[in-house]
Each structure stands twice: as C-alpha cells, then as structure tokens.
Structure 1
Amino acid sequence: QQDALLPFVEDGTFILIGATTENPYFEVNGALISRSSVFRLNKLTADNILMILNNALNDKDKGLGSFPIAISDDILEYIADIADGDARRALNILELAVYSKMDLSDEITITIKDVEDCIQMKAVDYDKNGDNHYDIISAFIKSMRGSDPDAALYYLGKMIAGGEDPRFIARRVVICASEDVGNADPMALVIANSAAQAVDFIGMPEGRIILAQAVTYVACAPKSNAAYLGINEVLEDLNNIKTGSMPYYLKDGTSLSLERKYTPDKSTQRYAYPHDYENHYVKQQYLPDLVKDKRYYRPADTGYEKNISEYLSKTKYSPE
C-alpha cells in the first residue's frame, strides 16, 4: 500500500510529515525511507525534565506558580528520574501531587509519599550518580560471581526500578560472563552478549526479561577466572621482565625467508604444521625463549574447563 504513495512523493504532490514512537526503518517502506529525511528525537534527560518541572513551579500564568508549594530538590529529581524521559508524565505526576494536597492547608508541602501515592509506586533507594549506585552494582556482580541467582535478580530489579540504564546493566553481565565464568561455560558470554544486543534493540520494559534470563544463566553457570588471571599475568610480565624473542619459525613467511637468508644456521628447525600429525597436535615451542616454560593459563577443574585441563594434560603438558 505504501508503494502507491511513491509517484506522488516523487513529483511533490504529497509531502509526508510524520512522528512515531516506532522505528520507521522497520515500519515504513524502504523506498519511501530513501526519499525522506529521518530525524531521531532522543528522550529527555533527567536534567531536561528537572528544568521543565521548575519552570512549571515558577510559571504563574500556565503553571503552578500561583500556588504556595513547598517541594524539595530531591523529590523533583525523583520525579524526573521515574518519568524516564517523558516530560508529560513528569508534569502529570507533579500536578496530581499538588492538587491532591490543595485543600489540606495554606501551604502545599509535597513529600515523597505524596508522589508515591500518585504513581502507585514505592520510591527505590537507588541514586544513579551516588555511592548507592556503586554499592548496588557491586552487590549485583558479586551475587552473579557467587552463584546466587536470587540475589542477582533482586539487585537487577533494584537497578531497573531505580531507572538505571539497561545497557549499563547488560555491559556488567557481559563482563561477568567472561571474567567470572570464562571457559567453564563458554555459552555464558554468548548469552550475555546476545542479551546486550537484544536489550538495545527492544528496550524497556520488555528488556527486563532478557536481562533476567542472562543474569540467571551467568549466576548459575560454573565459574572460572583462569582466562582473566592469565592475561593479567602476561601483561605484568611484559611490563616487568624480559621475555626474549619468539621462535623464528613462528614468524611471517617474508621475515622468515630473510632470516634464513642472513642467518642460515637457524634454518635447521622448521615450523611443524599440527594438522600433519596424529590428533592434530605436535609438541613444539611457541612462547619466547625467556618464558618458554611459563604457564599463564591454568584451567579450573569445573565445567567445560575440566575438559580443557584434560586435553592439555594429554598434549602440551604430557610427559615427553
């Protein structure tokens, strides 16, 4: 049906002007999109809404400036946060709170309970910019690391109810999946990363379901920080000790040819191609000379890393 508009849009008979809460790239015909200019209007920030609320309180003609209203900055910030970028919702909450107290006294004092009663929602002790923010996210990560899905869900819910950016939460889940689960369950990182992409695509409130799935999976997965410890140890060695040169047969073909040309005594040992050997493995040196016996990766004896440990014991770490 949208195709019928194309010739009229092209010759200027129709000028299409529209606004939508949906993604036009999914809802509007591609041919129409290509002939249009699409402008994305981002939701208002909490500071934007706070300014609008203060304007409403001070405006005597069109706002609430003619009423003797007493309301703290903390309560205004709370309204701005729960409005989640919607100025109309913030103004409706403020107006309802004021009108609900109008006949009770000369001065209209708005409390946090008045706001909660208006929106039928309890205020959550969560400050996105304060110490409490870091305390909650710390408890959230430690609960996943500690394999407590109930606590992880609780702190997830507290962050969501407090208006935390779901993308911030998703990033923490991805980090935990790699740092604390690692190769004990490689699917944890896949699920966490898929959840992060899905949350960004779908948004809230449905994004809470996706986050909950990823959080419970990571929390219940077997744990290992072997990869995390390994890369940290490598970086520490690179900063603090000499590691020497890599085996010459591992170098790129061009530099290898030059090395053989000018140092023919080194050409006695060639790179052994693992797929030419039984079980696709051949024992040879890969690390630089000065750290050739160093062991950076120590897989845990849990989850899939138990299989990795058994494989390494039969290959790299097998007796000569």
Structure 2
Amino acid sequence: MEFDGLFPLTGPGGVDTAAPAGAESGFTRPSADSPLPVRMRPATLDELVGQQHLLAPGAPLRQLVTGTTPMSVILWGPPGTGKTTIAHLVAAATDRTFVAMSALTAGVKDVRAVIDTARRRRRAGGPPTVLFIDEVHRFSKTQQDSLLAAVEDRTVTLLAATTENPYFSVISPLLSRCVLLTLQALDEDDVRGLIRRAVTDERGLGGAVTLSAEAEDHLVRLAAGDVRKALTALEAAAGSAAAQGVTEIDLATAEKAVDVAAVRYDRDGDAHYDVTSAFIKSMRGSDPDAALHWLARMLVAGEDPRFIARRIVIFASEDVGMADPQALLVATAAAQAVQSVGLPEAQLNLAQAVVHLATAPKSNSVTTAISAAIADVRAGRGGAVPAHLRDAHYPGSRGLGHGKGYRYPHDDPKGVVRQQYVPDDLIGADYYTPTDHGAERAVADRLPRLRRIVRGTPPSTGGATSSGIPQAPTSQHDDSGPAAGEDQP
C-alpha cells in the first residue's frame, strides 16, 4: 500500500508489508553505492553525536526513540544536525508502525489516508503509528490543521522536522500538542569525530584513504556544523584522490573536490578574532571595500551569519549612532533577513548593510553617553524618582503626592516645558554630547535649546558638568537667540 508523496507505509514491527524488498520502516536501506552521509547514519542512539542536552536518561529524545512514552515531537534545528537520523532511529523500533512523508510532495489527501489507516489498525488492536513529516514548515495551515485531531487523541504520534522557527511556521494548536526539541549545530569536535569515523568505518571509506590534518581542518571548517555537508565533501575528496591514484587526501585535493579555497580562519582562535576586528575597524574607518573583503572571508570560511549580523547591529549604534539613525534600521533588517532567508542569499543583505554602515557618517556619542550614565549608576549616584514623575494611576497614589505638579508637555505650544526629570543629585548632568556629523548636526543644534527650556537655565559657555561629561558647546545661533524663557525647541 503506497500513497503519493509518502515513503512506503509500513506494517507491524516497522517492516513494510507491501513495499518491495529493501524498504524498511518507511526508509530505503542504505546500499554500497548510497551517499556517504546515508551510509554513516547512526544505527543506535548511542552513536548519535551532539545534542547531549537531549540525550540524558529519561529525556524526551530518548523516550521518543525508545517508545517508552508516546508523545508527539517537533524537531527544530539547522541542516545536518540529525533530525532525519532521529527519524531513522524511531523507525527501527519494533513495536511501532512508521510512516514517512515529505511536506514538499504530500497533501491533505495523503495525511488523511495515513490517519485513516492508523485509526483502523488501532481499533483492530494493532501497533501504534508514528508519522514522520520532513520539512513540516512547508505544510499550509490547512494541511497542518488536518493533523490536529489525530495528534490530540494519539491516533498517530507525530514526529515533525523543520529548519524554520516553529513559532512562526507551525500553527499554534499543533505546536501546543507537541514537545518542541531544539537541535543545535554540531561543534567542530563533533564534526571532526564523525569525519574520522567515516574514514575508517566499514560503512564509510573503510580505511581506503587517509586524511591530512590540513584537509581535515578544511572539511570541518567548510561544514559549519552541518555533518551532512562535511561527509559529502569528504566523499567527493575521496573520489578525487582515487581518480589521481593516491591514497591520501591532502588540502589541495580537498579544495579541488569541493571547489572552495581554504581560508585561514579558526572560529575559536586568533584568526577568528583578528578577522572580526579587521571587519569592524574597516567599517569604522569608512572603507567599504576592505569591509566587504573581511565579510567575504567570514562567509567563505563558514562563519555563522547570525554572528556577523549581530556585530553589524551593534556597530550601527556603537559607531554610526545618531549620525545616521537609519543605520540601525538597515542593520536590524539585515539580521532579520539572515533569519528568514538564510545563506547563500542573505549574503546580499549582509553586504548591503556593510556598505551602508561603512559609508555612513560616524558618531560614537551614543556609546559614550550610555557608558557615562552607567558609570554614574554604578557609582551610586541617582536617588529617588522625583514625586511628580511617579506613577499616579493606582488608588491611593495621589494621596502620597505621586504625580503632583507634573506638567504635560503637549499642553504647551512648544511641546517642551521646564521640569525636572532626573534625581536631585544628577541635576545638570550632561551624558549625551552630539557631534556635527551627518544627521546628528541638527541634533547638536537643537539639544542646547531643549536643555535650556527643560532646566530653565541661561545659555551655557561649555565646561564640565557634575558628572564630568563635557557639555555640548552652544552654537552662534544659540548665543544670539532668545532669552531662556523665550527659547524655541
């Protein structure tokens, strides 16, 4: 019995009663010519590498694989972290019927057919059914809705895999009926161990080739936590070595096989920090060409694009700030694009943000302002919230004097009124000193007038404040402008 969009439907004991020989538990058994990642799939849970946070005794993942407790599970993680491998381990259980389908090709009709068959089997006293759906985020809302009742009454135990954030890609009713397990990208030691196992294991290359240390480092770096990618590259390199009549895979062979040049970049070592530092300093120095080079170095070396995006977002406020307030919007938009689009396409979004930030006017006034404010707070300066600024919405607050004397700025034609907003021991403290770079020039012109109105002080000639932060010098326009009471913001 087969359905469009499904792998063969299995019978009791996990073996397909209608599928051709060689089909087991809804998956085809690996053959000698199967891809290396398929041949090297763990046969037991103990062979599973990584995800130690999910493998403790009694943890949901162990319960899922062993079948000790029926529960529907959504596996969320980047490619190559073991989602399909876990499905294979579940399929090998002897007391369950396993059905696998791909959301790329299956429809509501296929889902309902599986559920109807599972319900009939359950009523006849047969084994429970596990339904594996790969790429579940590609199912429409209607397709996901068709699963709800069967998951609710455990007609089927759902095992779904997704690379997309399920809080956005899976409907809430289905998500609430499942346990969400988050799989993490494998670290370099895990990937390295799996590469070494594939070189020697009979299921893999069986020791037919050896791997130089440089080539191994290259494959680990290239994988970026995706073990499927690492093993695919290893198989290609082994084939290239065989074609050359050699038994060692050196760096040149590995590079040629996967057509990616090795880049000296250790994600945990000096090169990582050196390249990142050069990247930031190139943007700060307004050199977009150099910044794009370092961005490319990180991308080619397999750096996590989310790390790059985070550095860009930080830079937008740390080094551009108020000189171009749009820079933060551009940076956060690029970070969001990394999450929703992914590589390789998201490299365009990152590059656009890098060019924007590198060519933008620069100001670190926001950085120095918050640093000075934090320093004062840590030094114990601050005191109580002024009574007129306290919350006056709850019963009894007015009797405590909360809100008394507060002036509502919108009642004033200028929209700015004289009023104390800081604790008593910070009166007159200036943290923010705008530059005259880019859009911040207008802020530098307006801020002294705002301070004079709010504080009710005459024009200042500069100098240090009580917090030790220099005041922004007043412009010529300020010196010759209206008196303090007549200032316009």
Assess if the C-alpha contact under 8 Å between 2:331 and 2:353 holds in 1.
yes
Q: Which amino acid aligns with 2:144?
A: G
| Mapping 1:303-314, distance limit 5 Å | 303-314=438-449
Q: Secondary structure at the match of 2:145?
A: helix
- 2:182 aligned with 1:54: no
Paired position in structure 2 for 1:264: none
Paired position in structure 1 for 2:324: 185
Measure, in 2, the Cα distance between the counterparts of 1:88 and 1:19: 21
Q: Secondary structure at the match of 1:215?
A: helix
- 2:232 aligned with 1:89: yes
| Cα 1:258/1:87, change in 2 over 3 Å | same
Measure, in 2, the Cα distance between the counterparts of 1:128 and 1:299: 37
TM-score for both structures, normalised by structure 2: 0.57
Structure 1 range deviating more: 199-208 or 8-17: 8-17
Task: Determine which structure has the larger helix proportion and give its number.
Answer: 1
State, as a whole percentage, how many aligned pairs show the same letter: 36
Measure, in 1, the Cα distance between the counterparts of 2:436 and 2:160: 54
Note the aligned Cα RMSD (angstroms).
Answer: 2.8
Paired position in structure 1 for 2:107: 2
Paired position in structure 1 for 2:262: 123
Assess if the C-alpha contact under 8 Å between 2:316 and 2:331 holds in 1.
yes
Q: Which amino acid aligns with 1:231?
A: I
Q: How far is 1:45 from its partner?
A: 4.6
Paired position in structure 2 for 1:219: 358
Q: Secondary structure at the match of 1:303?
A: coil
Paired position in structure 2 for 1:274: 409
- 2:313 aligned with 1:154: no
Measure, in 1, the Cα distance between the counterparts of 2:232 and 2:362: 43
Structure 1 range deviating more: 111-120 or 45-54: 45-54
Assess if the C-alpha contact under 8 Å between 2:286 and 2:358 holds in 1.
yes
| Cα 1:173/1:28, change in 2 over 3 Å | farther
- 2:138 aligned with 1:19: no
Q: How far is 1:113 from its partner?
A: 1.5
- 2:216 aligned with 1:76: yes
Assess if the C-alpha contact under 8 Å between 2:387 and 2:401 holds in 1.
no
| Cα 1:66/1:277, change in 2 over 3 Å | closer
Paired position in structure 2 for 1:248: 387
Q: How far is 1:126 from its partner?
A: 1.0
Q: How many residue pairs get matched?
A: 307
Q: How far is 1:163 from its partner?
A: 0.5
| Cα 1:19/1:4, change in 2 over 3 Å | closer
| Cα 1:47/1:223, change in 2 over 3 Å | same
Q: Secondary structure at the match of 1:114?
A: helix
Q: Which has the higher contact order (CA 8 A, sep 6+)?
A: 1
| Cα 1:220/1:272, change in 2 over 3 Å | same
Assess if the C-alpha contact under 8 Å between 2:233 and 2:258 holds in 1.
no
Assess if the C-alpha contact under 8 Å between 2:233 and 2:257 holds in 1.
no
Q: Which amino acid aligns with 2:212?
A: S
Measure, in 2, the Cα distance between the counterparts of 1:28 and 1:199: 28
Paired position in structure 1 for 2:372: 233
Structure 1 range deviating more: 38-47 or 234-243: 38-47
Q: Which amino acid aligns with 1:257?
A: R
Q: Secondary structure at the match of 1:39?
A: strand
Paired position in structure 2 for 1:137: 276
Structure 1 range deviating more: 77-86 or 198-207: 77-86
Structure 1 range deviating more: 165-174 or 189-198: 189-198
| Mapping 1:93-108, distance limit 5 Å | 93-102=236-245, 108=247
Q: Secondary structure at the match of 1:29?
A: helix
**Which consecutive unaligned segments of at least 5 residues does structure 2 have?**
1-105, 120-128, 152-157, 164-182, 459-483, 485-489
Paired position in structure 1 for 2:144: 30
Q: How far is 1:301 from its partner?
A: 1.1
Render the CA deviation track for 1:15-38: whole Å, top value 9, x for unaligned. 864434x84356983324545542
Q: Secondary structure at the match of 1:315?
A: helix
Q: How far is 1:280 from its partner?
A: 0.6
| Cα 1:152/1:27, change in 2 over 3 Å | farther
- 2:435 aligned with 1:260: no
Q: How far is 1:9 from its partner?
A: 4.4
Paired position in structure 1 for 2:469: none
Measure, in 2, the Cα distance between the counterparts of 1:28 and 1:185: 45
Q: Which amino acid aligns with 2:191?
A: I
Q: Which amino acid aligns with 2:143?
A: N
Q: How far is 1:248 from its partner?
A: 2.0
